[in-house]
Amino acid sequence: MGSSIEIEKPLSEWAAVYFGAGAKVQALKRLSGGASQETWAFDVAASGTKHALILRRAPGGVAAARSSEAVSLATEAALLGATAKSGVRVPDVLHVSPPGSALGEAFVMRRVTGETLGRKILRDEEFTLARTRLTRDCGEALARIHAVPIAGLPELPRSLGEDQIAKYEAIYRGFDLPRPVFELAFAWLKANAPAPAVPVLVHGDFRLGNLIVDAEGLGAVLDWELAHTGDPREDIAWLCVNSWRFGQSERRVGGFGDLPDLLDAYAGAGGARFTPAEIDWWEILGSLKWGVMCMIMYGAYKTGADPSVERAAIGRRVSENEIDLINLFEGLGRHA
């Protein structure tokens, strides 16, 4: 983990180049969350203006060889640039710091004001107007993300539905813990797989928690670490997975909207015309994936890698995904 002393000096040196001599780094603070990357908030005071900024940095400035498919910080910065050009609201990137530099592997972006906590966005009065706009905003943002020309992007992992089934089934079987509901989901997904789509840029974790929402609606799309090329329906369905409705189950889209409206906004912004029945398959895959991820987190306790009570307890959240899958199976007839 980086200390503020370790990064304040190289950050000040960068600020003096970018904003001019006399620019001062202030209020540098490590933000919580984001286990795989460091996220810091800071201000730069320069010529009477205060710039609110964020530093995203590899732990200790050095990217570990990670087994996950998470993209590098340089790729994340490139994606922010490319999606901004396609009209997606994302933070402006001011600087990309290469591995081995004084700051380490990192990038600096503008800090967008707003809320990321799902429960607040869904319940607080200040987001009343935003909630009426979020479905449309998300549909448009997703259509624009999926329209980004892949040719101009850094190399991204490719992961279609069948790749994800294979990956998560192998992990699930590795645990040797029988879960008949997951077994049914794997079998059903394989038996009912849709024709693969032409791969597009997929955000990979587009949901409340990773979206900055302000009083007017969607402010910025964050957390591009899981970006890959794949099926556009994956992103649409992930936003619908009940785990990301934060208790507001009756609104299928993120707890704030209805799927037909999202699909209309998506098609209206130039995206393909998808049907709710198509999204069912991907939402089942999404719930199953999150269930296996909860098993992975519990696995970290079981193997002793992370002996915290939090990792142990998360194993008792797997049943949340099981009931979501059962509710989805029961609902299949409604969209047939």
Partner 1 sequence: MHDAPSAKELIEAVKAFIDKTAAPQLTGHAAFHARVASNALATVLRELDIRPAAEADEKARLESLLGVTGEPVETLNRRLCEEIRTGRMGLSTSGLLPHLKSTTIDQLSVDQPGYSGLRSAAR
Binding segment for partner 1 (CB under 8 A), chosen from 184-192, 204-212, 260-268, 299-307, is 184-192
**296 makes contact with partner 1 (CB under 8 A):** no
Note whether 116 and 209 are within 8 A (CB): yes
Cβ nearer to partner 1, comparing 155 with 250 = 250
**17 makes contact with partner 1 (CB under 8 A):** no
DSSP 85-107: HTT---PPEEEEEPTTSSS-SEE
Q: Which of 27, 50, 323, 335 binds partner 1 (CB under 8 A)?
A: 323
**322 makes contact with partner 1 (CB under 8 A):** yes
**180 makes contact with partner 1 (CB under 8 A):** yes
Q: Which residues are CB-neighbours of 35 under 8 A, at least 6 positions away? A: none
Number of helices followed by number of strands (H, E) in the chain = 11, 9
Binding segment for partner 1 (CB under 8 A), chosen from 5-13, 73-81, 157-165, 177-185, is 177-185
The amino acid present at 155, given as its one-letter code, is E
Q: For tokens 């998470």, what's the residue?
A: 70
- Does an H or E element contain 328, and which? helix 318-335
Q: Which of 30, 110, 120, 317 binds partner 1 (CB under 8 A)?
A: 317
Question: 318-335 vs 180-191: helix axis angle to the nearest 10?
Answer: 40
Radius of gyration for the alpha carbons in the chain, expressed in angstroms and rounded? 21
**193 makes contact with partner 1 (CB under 8 A):** no
Which of the residues 26 through 85 are near partner 1 (CB under 8 A)? none
**327 makes contact with partner 1 (CB under 8 A):** yes
Q: For tokens 């994800």, what's the residue?
A: 164
Which of the residues 225 through 264 are near partner 1 (CB under 8 A)? 242, 245, 247-250
**162 makes contact with partner 1 (CB under 8 A):** no
CA angle 125, 129, 135 (to 5 degrees): 120
Give min distance, CB of 7 to partner 1, in A: 22
Binding segment for partner 1 (CB under 8 A), chosen from 70-78, 151-159, 206-214, 315-323, is 315-323
Give CA–CA dist 125/95, Å, rounded: 36
The tokens of 298 are what?
């519990």
Site residues, partner 1 (CB under 8 A): 178-181, 183-184, 186-188, 191, 242, 245, 247-250, 308-310, 312-313, 316-317, 319-320, 322-324, 326-327, 329-330, 332
